[in-house]
Amino acid sequence: MERYVNTLDSEWYKQRIVGVSICALVAFVALFVRLIYLQVVLGEEYQRLSINNSIRLQIVDPPRGLILDRNGMKLAENRPSFDVSFTPKDAGDTGRVLGDLSTHLEIPSDDLFGRVKNSKGLAAFKPVLLKQDIGRDVLAVVEARKVDLPGVQVNVRLRRNYLYGTSASHVIGYLGEINTEELKGGDFPGLRGGDYIGRFGVERTYEAFLRGEPGGRQVEVNANGQVMRVLSTVSARPGQNIYLTLDRELQHKTEELLEGVVGAAVAVDPQNGHVLALASSPSFNQNSFVSGIAADSWESLLTNPFRPMENKAIQGEYPPGSTFKIITAIAGLEEKVIDETTTFDCAGSLPFGGRDFRCWKKEGHGRVDVRRALTESCDVFFYRVGQRLGVDRLAWYAKACGLGARTGIALDQEARGLIPSSVWKKKRFGVPWQEGETLSVAIGQGYDLTTPLQMALVAASVGNGGTRYRPLILDRVETMEGEVVHQNLPQVAGKIPASPRTLSIVQQGLWGAVNGERGTASRARLKDIEVAGKTGTSQVVGRKEGGDDYLPPHLRPHAWFVCYAPVGSPRIAVAVLIENGEHGSSAAGPIAREMVKTYLRAPAGGPKAAVEDVRVLAGSG
């Protein structure tokens, strides 16, 4: 019995061993067959892939959205650019390749080695950008010698192109390379080192609309890093096109008029707040920033005494001079310290506090009411109104008209300006307000500071009957297919605190300044169209007896002019500021006239000023 049991156990073990052996044999046969299949059938293909090729993922940059004016004229577009990159893994003899490449790119080999060395933290198969935007001649040479330059790739990339160079540069802005901190911050998902983002102007403000979304493609490259075939592609989503409120023709004309002077000019639509033109002089060339501006060029822009990088239309803060008399007149009439029949005698100066506060017209204006005071810009009349109002009531009306605060335009670094009050001075200087200071503030001097955009909006709101609009620079956003995805509607910022009667009186005074026999702004007159406006001269330093002729150019008064047209139903309001231009009537008025004429397509000319008017213009405020 025991022998029978042992025999059964032995048979069972033999069967187990045979089963295991068969399984092992089948596994080895399967592996052997698979090995034969891979080596014999697919061997050549896998050998090619393993020895000569690798699969890589390439980013596909999206086309940036276009920037156009209100009529669809392109201001900024994209153009093809050829960039040279180098992949260390594919190079073999890096020293030889970079040495040869330096000759073609006209870059010292040490610089190329330095760029590759600085990228050692990247994977060896990551391309290193060596030079951007090479010319077509260099492209032809590099492409012809690509077999001798393993690891070198020339990539086509869309680059920004500003069609008019310096035109509207402070509005459009420019692009700059994204930095490490911005990449880490998470505000720009999907971007990588070497990508460009908006740095200034609407390029920055509307970056989210313009940028688009990158795509990608999986490619097979050979040992030299050359693309053999595209395996798969995910399309990039183009950026959206933005239509600005600017009128290209008016913008161009405004910049022509400002050429050779330092200053700014703004035109807005009084009916909706659209910015029709916004120019700051001198300007800068946006295309200088496209491939990265050189350090010495950037330093030159920053140290230029005329400040080309400053958007003087919204960042420049200047005493408004006699243009501020619009505010003083409104405040005086509304507070009933004067009415339309109130008159004051102007003998050329007003004695107060032991000094004479002079009028610009030395012999005086005689007996004047508020309309004539605006028309002829009588300082003494507004000294008197300021005395009766006091600085705090004057400040309240100025702020209610939009001064001393940012307008809300969608551009960078807008200045607030300054409207002083007794509380402000006590807090700022620790001393009480002096009554004599109110006289200076009442004619736009002293501590008063405004921007050209603010004063353009004051003119617009007076002209349209009292509605203050927030200035808009963006009209709409469209997809590449023309679908409107965003439309800016007019935004009311408030109302001027003035009754219809008060506004009518002020409007009559401004009409007289341009069209009246003794108006200070007759050089802004146009034939067949009525313009209403106000000149201004703001002092850089205190005036002394004998006039301003002794002053060096950089200390001479600034010239102002604000206006709207046509009277009754204005379609354009303008503010022009010329630094050290001395007289608003002669320096700023003619520029505003040409801007109005260009936009409204009105013929130039009109009745010539009488001889006496010419004398008035020579020294008006």
Which residues carry out catalysis? 322
Q: In whole angstroms, give the CA distance from residue 288 to residue 270.
A: 35
Name beta bridge partners: 154.
Answer: 84
Q: Which residue spans within 132-234 are E strands per DSSP?
A: 152-162, 175-177, 196-198, 215-221, 227-234
Smallest Cα–Cα separation from 561: which of 613, 478, 617, 608? Answer: 617
Q: How far apart are the first and last CA of the chain?
A: 136
Q: Would you state the structure tokens that stand for residue 339, as one six-digit string?
A: 């009415």
Listed in sequence order, the residues at least 6 apart from 451 whose beta carbon sits closer than 8 Å to its beta carbon are: 313, 314, 315, 316, 317, 318, 407, 414, 415, 417
Please report, as a single letter, which amino acid is at residue 27.
Answer: A
Q: Is the peptide bond before 127 cis (omega within 30 degrees of 0)?
A: no
Indicate the Cα dihedral angle 337, 342, 348, 354, nearest 10°. -30
Q: In whole angstroms, give the CA distance from residue 535 to residue 375.
A: 9
Indicate the Cα dihedral angle 568, 574, 575, 576, nearest 10°. -130
Q: In whole angstroms, give the CA distance from residue 531 to residue 507.
A: 10
Report phi then psi at 49, rounded to 5.
-65, -40
Query: How many other C-beta atoms can be found within 10 angstroms of the C-beta atom of residue 610?
Result: 12
Q: In whole angstroms, give the CA distance from residue 154 to residue 256.
A: 40
Listed in sequence order, the residues at least 6 apart from 362 whose beta carbon sits closer than 8 Å to its beta carbon are: 348
Lookup result for tokens 């020294």: 619
Q: Are 334 and 397 in contact (CB under 8 A)?
A: yes
Question: What are the Cα distances from residue 23, in Å, to 27, 32, 531, 612?
Answer: 6, 14, 103, 120
Q: In whole angstroms, give the CA distance from residue 581 to residue 557.
A: 6
Lookup result for tokens 């073999």: 92
